[in-house]
Amino acid sequence: MNKKQVFINYIPEDRVVAEQIRDWLTAEGIVCAMLTEVDSLEAHFRVVAQVEDTIEAKGALVVVLSKAALKSCWLISNAQYSCELAARRPVLVVYQIEDLPQDHPLALYYAQAAVIHASKKVADPSTRLVNTCLLYTSPSPRDRTRSRMPSSA
């Protein structure tokens, strides 16, 4: 059986949150990849390759979204590219760490996303994040080749 995997997409300022997410997911057996440095064009090519590998393996992309992250063209383009690679398959798990304007660039992709608002007073956002990642990286019982979500097969 293939291991469940996600790629955590974040900006350096949100690294502590990304590491916390990685810890939550790895504790549940989900393989996590995350960027380590983004200070060169070569590093960005490695990130794109990791995103492609994750989507090809029927994984998901976790986006740590903050006001500062919305200014990162790399973060936004990685998320958009993931949605394009996945076609209609839900692939984005957006972990929103603060309130954001409703018309931000990733809002267009929310049809392929689960949005978890860490800034809202909800019970244990880590459980919601883990459960969503487990769902988004699980094969569909109906058709493993076309879809992973039971409602979309």
pLDDT for the residue numbered 23: 92
Residue 64 φ/ψ, nearest 5 degrees:
-85, 110
pTM tops 0.85, yes or no = no
* Mean pLDDT to the nearest integer, 71-100: 79
Q: What is the pLDDT of residues 103-145, one digit of tens each?
A: 777 777 776 677 777 755 555 667 767 777 776 676 654 444 4
pLDDT bracket for residue 151 (50, 70, 90): very low
Which helix (DSSP H) or strand (DSSP E) does residue 117 occupy? strand 113-117
- List CB contacts of 47: < 8 A, sequence separation 6 or more: 9, 35, 38, 74, 78
pLDDT bracket for residue 59 (50, 70, 90): confident
Contact 10, 17 (CB under 8 A): yes
